Structure formats: C-alpha cells, structure tokens
Chains A and B, each alone.
Chain A
C-alpha cells in the first residue's frame, strides 16, 4: 500500500491515501458539493458527519465513482488515490471499485447463498485459481468480518435469511473479499439495533489495521467512538476537518460547534 511513486511522496507531505482537491459535484443544475479539499490518512478511520442533505454521502460516492451511475451527476476537481487521479480517462471505474470497496446504508446482500455472496467479487476479478483458493478467500473474509463462527455451518443458506446485523457484516465480508485498500461505508449502522451496531463498530476498529476506512454517519457518538479524524459537512461545504478529539471537544468553526451541541441538524 505504501508503494507510492517517489515524486508523490515528496510532494505529498501528509502521506495521505486519498487526497481531494477543489471537488465540485453537480446534480444537473444543483451544486451539491462545493470546493471540498480533504486529505484522508491511510490505515485510519475518517468519519464524515453533518446534517441530512449536506452532501457527505454524495462526496463519499465520488471516491469510488458510484455516482457515475447517475446520469445527471458531474464531478469537477481532482480526487487522487495513491497519487493517481481517479477521474482520469485512463481509469476504469471497475478497477477502481475493486480497490475502493463500499458498504451501503441498507444491508444489501445478493439473494444468493452466504458463500456466493462473498465469493462473487473474487470470482469476477479472477482472484482465485481454483475452488480451494476461493474457499480460503471466503473463509478469511468471513473471519475478518467476524462472521465466520455464525456462518461457517450455513454457507449454503441464503444471505438474505440472516439478521440485519449479520447481513451488514456479510456485506463487509463481501467488500473485503476483493482485497480493497479503501472501504467506504455509507451509514452502515443506520438500519441496525444497538447490539449489532456495537459489533459492526468493533469490526471497523479492527479493520483499521489493514484498510483505509471512510465512514459516513449520522450518529456523532459513533463518529467519536470509531474515527480518528472527523470531517463536518454543511450545505455542500466541508466546514471543518481534523482529529476527532479536537472536532468534538474544541471545534474551530461556530457551525461545527452548533451542530455538535445539537443546536441544529
């Protein structure tokens, strides 16, 4: 992961994994994201917080180009991952998404078996040469997602038959299975109960050792619990970004303070 070109390392003082520069996102005529500059550190959890409609999910989806699927959506500025501009015409979004995995708000396992859910990514990317290798990938992904103990005896059962929290961890296992470097999580716990949420948060904390994680969340407690850095978005603008501790205890901007103390949002 740290095999960045030498030149990049020299210019990129912060040694960041993802670096966004003056990113603008338009939905038709609506200017949804304005001038966002952010550096995201490798092997850490960065949380995006902000009121509904502030553009945090939109910005998250620009990082693996999921917004390409929306016809009227247009992105300007540059987003670099490991010093490579992901909106460069040479970049194939399919390869990008293998490197930058995503977990969605609502658990969305494929209506297939647990095994096939996890094996799908490795299969289409040709990561396993035979069934044994595929079995290994599936097992290790489920282990990393903390689902192995619950799932090992029911790999042939449909993923949709699991509980909500298990489904979300299955989706995380599915994302891990293609060996991404970055995992984007769009409010991964908003549909889960507190116990399932605690499990997923624990998992996020463990995954931080190997992956760069960006998480969008509505819960400030969650941001405080899992993230090392926090970015506060408001009305399409990145208001403030810094170490989570500082954002929650000593925010610089008045708007951040108002939001955190519950005065709006």
Chain B
C-alpha cells in the first residue's frame, strides 16, 4: 500500500515493488481517487436528472390542476315552450332580448313550482347566474321558427362566477357581492344544483369555439385559433420542408467548398439563433407593409414561421445527410450512378428519419411561437359568426394557439386565466402528438432499411 502513496520516499518505491509483486487486492491511492471521482460524477448526473424530473412533475401538476377547470362548464338545462304569440310579442318590443328573458324567467318559475321548490328570485338574479340568456333564446327561434309552440330543452351557459363556485374557485367565504354575483344568489344556485337544473358538463365549446369578448369568459374557446395554427403549420410544412431539404442537399452534396459556402453555412447557424421577434418585425415590414399581404392572416404567420423554421430544418437535414456513411455514396457512384442518383436513391432515404424528426421538431417549435405573431397582428381576434366565414382559409384574419393563450392570460377576469391554462394543455397535446408522430415515422423508416 505505502508503495503507491505520494510520500517523500516515493522515488525509492519502484525498487521495492520490483522486488515483490504488487497485490491486486489492495487498491492504491490513485485508483481510489479515480473511483471516487467517477462515483461523484455519477451522483451529479443522477441529481441533475432528478432535479429535471422534479421540475417536470411540478410543471405538469400545476398545468393540469389549473387547466382542468377550463374543460368543464356549468350549464342550466331548462325545458320550456315559446309560443308564436310570445315570439311575435317579443320581436315587436324595443328590448327584444329582455322580453325573451322574461319568458325564460316565467318558465323557470313554472319548473320550480312543478318541482315544489320555494326560493324567492328575481330576473336580476337569473341574469347574474345565466349571463344574458335572451339573445341565445332569440337566436335559436329566429333560426328555427318551426320549433315555436313545441317544448325545447335549452342548455344555457352559467356565468363565469357560477362556474367558479362550481369548481371551487369561489366559496361562500371569499365571495364579495358585486353586480356579477351576490352572495344571496348562491342559495338559488344550490337549489338549482339539487334539482338537477345546474349541471357540470364537458366544455365542448372550449375545444371547438372561438374567442369571446372580455366580459364573457365562459364562451371563450380555442377552436378558432387551432384552425389558425393549423393553416399556419400547413404553410410552414409545405414551404420549409422542400426549401430546407433542397438547400441542405445542395450544400452538403453538391456545393463546392469555398469561402462563399462557408459564409452561407455560418449564417444559417446564426439564423437559427436569431430571436423570433426579429423575424416577426421582418414579416411585418416585408410581408405586410411591402407586399401588402393581409394582416393577421395565417399565410403571413406561416411565412414568418417558415423563415424561422428553415435554419432548424437545414441544420438537422445536413446533420443527417452527413451521418450517412460515405461508403454508400461510393457504392452508388461505383456502379455508375450519377451524383444525383446516388443522393436520391441511396443517401436521402437513409437520411429520411433524421430529416423527418428535424422537420417535426422545427414545426413543433413554430407551433409554440408567440412573439412574431404579436407583431403581425395574429392576436386578440374575436371571430364573429364562427365557424362560418372568418377562419376559413389562409387569407382570413385569425389567431393562433399561443397568441390566444397570451391574450387570455393578459385579461383581468380570473376565468380567463383558467382558459389560458386549458389552452396550454391543448397546445401541449398537439406538441406531444407531433413528437409521437416523429418517433413513429422514425421507427418506421429505420425498420425499412
């Protein structure tokens, strides 16, 4: 043991050891140190992974717990009949929706009587609970006049405060009387819940609907912005994949190695690191102010995101082309394939999994990008009459998922905050499914070879 220590007599040690064989059972100092540092390094690694996992779990928990309420909504299911007379009468009045609300209140009272419920309430309380049901009822009968005189079951959205009371955000203790909801209204709500009129159901309108006004968080949905994001991603995919792959193939396989191509290479790497807001202002200047493309349109968003995604795709495509063994190129050239045949018949298919993965990761990045969209106006847009017309294509104004989430998070009503978390869940579901798609494609293409 002492032979190996760095003691002052160390110099003499070799003479001693040469005389007697060193034992393999005794660990010497240097080996001990090396083993210790190896263990330490492994511990750092495990700690780093542990910390990462911890934050991931915290993030996932908070997203899910905050976002889940956005997927449920509180509705009042009331069945009643509006007669032709009542309809004509209401239509002739100045405040038409008011008139319908009166009809609704009557119907409510009738149901209460029928169920033998004794709660005093007035039209104002009903309005606070249901929002303004008049316009919903009016629109229904204007669209379906043949239903007049027949009983119709209405599913009316409760106001966001009632929603909050139902999912536990508001309680009798923390509620303050306001024009939105009075403490006394909660008695009515409780009774309605008991009698089965108020129910919590899955919030389809959140998935399919468009954004609503600032005073109606209950009606806000992410559907329209999903459509906007979808059109943008189509633009990004169909522009950046062919351009990026073509550019990479040329640079990697055909371009001569000189100062000019070096410069291009350096600039592509630099572009990948340019902040997205720079691309946003570029898009604003070039596509909207110079080329006069429509504002807030998915085509412009798609073009800007294409610019942003291209470097990512080019870099990953070049890396996967580089990873194809040169012996394959030699083999193809050796039997007399032209350079292009060698690339397209042999190199490209082998590089495909990498190219697809890079593209999908680039698309996923683009899907979550917010800053450039703020600059080209794809934000804070309320689609009226959705799903008809407004979000139908590339040229029509729309929003996108991340921009929609940003808008909601910035609004004052707490219910919108919930929507923002819910929107994040929807966005993450899209990102996750894109990544799963990338993995599946990768597996598939790899297995073929």
Residues of A participating in the B interface, judged by any CB pair closer than 8 Å: 64, 66, 69, 71, 94-98, 101-104, 106, 108-112, 120-121, 124-125, 158, 171, 174-175, 177-178
Contacts and interface: CB of A to CB of B under 8 A. Distances in A.
B333 A97 contact: yes
A94 B337 contact: yes
B184 interface: no
A104 B331 CA distance: 8
A109 B337 contact: no
B328 interface: yes
Contact of B335 (A69, A96, A111, A174): A174
22 contacts: A66-B330, A71-B256, A95-B336, A97-B333, A97-B334, A101-B334, A101-B335, A104-B327, A104-B330, A104-B334, A106-B327, A110-B328, A110-B332, A110-B346, A112-B449, A120-B345, A121-B336, A124-B335, A171-B331, A174-B331, A175-B334, A178-B335
B337 A66 contact: no
Given A110-B346, A111-B449, A66 B341 contact: no
Nearest to B253: A69
B334 A111 contact: no
A180 to B, nearest CB: 9
A226 B231 CA distance: 66
Interface centre among B325, B329, B332, B350 (most CB of A within 10 A): B332
Nearest to A97: B336
Nearest to B258: A71
B256 A124 contact: no
Given A66-B333, A97-B335, A110-B346, 6 more contacts: A69-B333, A96-B336, A104-B330, A110-B331, A120-B332, A120-B345
Interface of B: 256-257, 325, 327-338, 341, 345-346, 350, 449
Nearest to B335: A121
Given A69-B329, A108-B327, A124 B334 contact: no
B345 A111 contact: no
A22 B295 CA distance: 69
A171 B332 CA distance: 11
A125 B333 contact: no
A196 to B, nearest CB: 18
Nearest to A121: B335
B341 A124 contact: yes
A175 B335 CA distance: 6
A109 B334 contact: no
A120 B344 CA distance: 13
Contact of B338 (A94, A101, A110): A94
A216 to B, nearest CB: 14
Given A97-B334, A98-B336, A71 B257 contact: yes
A90 B416 CA distance: 73
B328 A108 contact: yes
A131 B328 CA distance: 25
Contact of B331 (A94, A108, A125, A178): A108
B350 A111 contact: yes
A109 B449 CA distance: 12
A110 B330 CA distance: 10
Contact of A64 (B334, B350, B449): B334
Q: Please list the 7 inter-chain residue pairs (A to B) with the smallest Cβ-Cβ separation, ordered nearest first.
A: A98-B336, A108-B327, A121-B335, A102-B334, A111-B449, A97-B336, A108-B331
Contacts of B330: 66, 69, 102, 104, 108
Contacts of A174: 331, 335
A155 B325 CA distance: 24
B434 to A, nearest CB: 27
A55 to B, nearest CB: 18
In this complex, the member of B325, B335, B346, B449 whose beta carbon has the largest number of chain A beta carbons within 10 angstroms is B335
Contacts of B338: 94
A117 to B, nearest CB: 9
Contacts of A97: 333-336
Given A71-B257, A111-B350, A111-B449, A124 B331 contact: no
A69 B327 CA distance: 12
Contacts of A101: 334-336
Output the residue of B327, B334, B350 with the most chain A CB within 10 A.
B334
Contacts of B336: 94-98, 101, 121, 124-125, 178
Contacts of B449: 111-112, 158
Given A69-B329, A108-B327, A110-B328, A120 B335 contact: yes
B413 to A, nearest CB: 59
Contact of B334 (A66, A95, A106, A125): A66
A165 B335 CA distance: 19
Nearest to A176: B335
A111 B446 CA distance: 11
A96 B336 CA distance: 7
Contacts of A64: 334
Contacts of A121: 335-337
Contacts of A158: 449
A111 B332 CA distance: 12
A97 B449 CA distance: 26
Contacts of A124: 335-337, 341, 345
Contacts of A110: 328, 331-332, 346
